[in-house]
Amino acid sequence: MPVLSLPSVLTPLTGGQHTIPATGATVSEALDDVVSRFPALSPRLRDENGAPYPFVTIYLNDEDIRFIGGFDAPVQPGDELSVVPAVAGG
Amino acid sequence: MSATVARPSQVLAAVSLQCASCGRPHDPAPAHVCPSCLGPLEPVYDPDRTLPDRSEIAARPRSLWRYREWLPFTGRPVRCLNAGWTPLIEAPRLADALGVSRCVVKHDAGSFPSLSFKDRVVASALNAAYAFGLPVVGCASTGNLANAVAAAAAREGVEAWIFIPHDLEPAKVAASAIFNPRLVRVRGTYDDVNRLCAQVADRFGWGIVNVNLRAYYGEGSKTAAFEIAEQLGWRLPDAVVAPMAGGSLVTKLSKGFGEFLDAGLVDGVTPRLYGAQAEGCAPIVRLVERGDDTLVPVKPATIAKSLAIGNPADGRSAASVIRSSGGWAAAVSDAEIVEGIRLLAETTGIFGETAAGVTVAVAKSLAQSGHLTADDEVVLCITGNGLKTTDAIVDSLNVPEPIAPRLSEVASLIQQNPS
């Protein structure tokens, strides 16, 4: 099954867990599964309309999901979904 | 014999933070993300702090710390004390070529110690690392920041981990490696390196200057605006053209000009701000053109690698300040970038890197499209040195065949190409 990898700033909402196993065939379904167990995470991952925040990027393995279909992108067993807050240029 | 004890007011400390999105306050910390909404954190300045006047600033040492009341610390800085105060160079021949009234170049290509404007932000970030007692600093970089962190860390005796894309220009790799940091070449783009460093900062607790020290780091860019104002004789120009990668420089220039206006150090209004990108990586330009609020990330493909950030963190802020200033943004092709580097060199004597070529070529484009006019006094922010990106222009240069050391051969050359 895919796993969701979270930054430390969100782990108080998951009992300290950085990585959480998820079920689902798409990014959206995997996130839905995780937030069903950790409801407080929900507003940190998507806004009230279910849209991504401009300052948070979600990666499927090494790819920004915006390049591969967004929340509808398919996920496979063994995939890693990473939530990464934006950082400055360099 | 008496020991010297620093007075509390002189001890360096970082200021508090506040979320730029939801407004929640945060204690000073090596943190860049609001735990409530994941929005970016910004430093908060005491509105009642005592600010210097023009004469007090002018009497201070010539470094960016002459503006320390607008940098995110209390007390005296302890690191990178020589950064900043780069020249503002008159460029009359470039003004003629562009068709503007006056053109001056903010010459950060000659910045100490690493020949780019990143020395400004690193000066701020390394003092933040000191204030928080962080023994290790690092960065994700397109090259210039790597050079700046490696150089400053070597000078200050701090361990540095430098993460760069594997395909950077050889001169930029060498200009980091010479300082002997822990250099990590990552197979991927800058955006991949950025993601990795976000995770590194999160897990190892290091001071990654453009990740968890970002709130303090970014403020260093404001000093370019302060210097422009002071070096113009305590006034503001009509327009400023600056390159955009992550979008922070343009945003901080706007903030810096605004802070000097608020302090009464200059009169007038914020200059029109113009953002410059390469066509092969222009997500902020497209955002300005569309006029909406959703940044669409891109996969970079340009010779201007220092601007090749497809997912710019400050892109929305940059587009917002550009629009509100009455400015605009434009993108240029790789061929135009090379022409821009050459135009700058041939009219000013300044050899800028590819980002400089972007800035000059965009200024030319903006003049042709009427955004810059014959009445304008324009400042061009030249942010990096051409010796770092010679591979981008060497094929375009006229490098002649050698001659024998004989006067007749020189006479022959004169005959072939009379001046």
pLDDT in tens, B368-386: 999 999 999 999 999 999 9
Closest approach of A86 to chain B, Cα-based (Å): 5
Residue type, B290: R
Mean pLDDT of B172-198: 92
- Chain B residues inside the 8 Å CB shell of A57: 195, 311
The pLDDT, as a whole number, for residue B212 is 93
The answer to whether residue B145 neighbours chain A at the CB level (below 8 Å) is: yes
From B202-206, B285-289, B377-381, the region with the lowest mean pLDDT: B202-206
Q: How many CB pairs under 8 A join A and B?
A: 99
The pLDDT, as a whole number, for residue B3 is 45
Residue pair B21/A55 in contact (Cβ under 8 Å)? The answer is: yes
For residue B71, pLDDT over 90 is answered with: yes
Q: Which 343-372 residues of chain B touch chain A by CB within 8 A?
A: none
* Contact between B313 and A86 using a beta-carbon 8 Å cutoff: yes
In the structure, what pLDDT confidence band is assigned to residue B290 with cuts at 50, 70 and 90? Answer: very high
Among all residues of chain A, which has the CA nearest to that of B192?
Answer: A62
In the structure, what pLDDT confidence band is assigned to residue B9 with cuts at 50, 70 and 90? Answer: low
* Contact between A88 and B246 using a beta-carbon 8 Å cutoff: yes
Share of chain B above pLDDT 90, in %: 86
Dihedral (CA of A57, A58, A63, A69) sign: negative
From A44-48, B117-121, B295-299, the region with the lowest mean pLDDT: A44-48
* Contact between A56 and B38 using a beta-carbon 8 Å cutoff: yes
The pLDDT, as a whole number, for residue B2 is 42
- Rounded distance between C-alpha atoms, residue B205 and residue B316, angstroms: 28
Mean pLDDT of B298-321: 93
Q: What is the pTM of this model?
A: 0.94
Continuous H helices in B248-333: 248-262, 283-290, 315-325
CATH for the stretch B118-217? 3.40.50.1100
In the structure, what pLDDT confidence band is assigned to residue B103 with cuts at 50, 70 and 90? Answer: very high
Residue type, B35: P
For residue A87, pLDDT over 70 is answered with: no
* Contact between A88 and B118 using a beta-carbon 8 Å cutoff: no
Q: Please enumerate in sequence order all residues whose Cβ is within 8 A of that of B121, keeping only pairs 6 or more positions apart, or say none.
A: B145, B148, B209, B210, B217, B218, B219, B220, B221
For residue A89, pLDDT over 70 is answered with: no
Mean pLDDT of B205-215: 93
Matching CATH topology for B88-114+220-393 and B118-217?
yes
In the structure, what pLDDT confidence band is assigned to residue A1 with cuts at 50, 70 and 90? Answer: confident
The answer to whether residue B24 neighbours chain A at the CB level (below 8 Å) is: no
Asked if this assembly's ipTM is beyond 0.90, the reply is no
Share of chain B above pLDDT 70, in %: 97
Q: Burial-class residue B260 by CB neighbours within 10 Å (0-12, 13-18, 19+).
A: buried
- Rounded distance between C-alpha atoms, residue B106 and residue B4, angstroms: 40
In the structure, what pLDDT confidence band is assigned to residue B4 with cuts at 50, 70 and 90? Answer: very low
Show me where the domains of chain B are located. Answer: 88-114+220-393, 118-217
Q: Which 26-55 residues of chain B touch chain A by CB within 8 A?
A: 31-33, 35, 37-40
Nearest to B32 among A64, A85, A89 (CB): A85
- Chain A residues inside the 8 Å CB shell of B190: 90
Mean pLDDT of B159-188: 94
CATH for the stretch B88-114+220-393? 3.40.50.1100
Report how far Cα B81 is from the mean position of its chain's Cα atoms: 18
The pLDDT, as a whole number, for residue B28 is 97
In the structure, what pLDDT confidence band is assigned to residue B6 with cuts at 50, 70 and 90? Answer: very low
pLDDT in tens, A12-63: 999 999 999 999 999 999 999 999 999 999 988 888 888 888 888 899 998 9
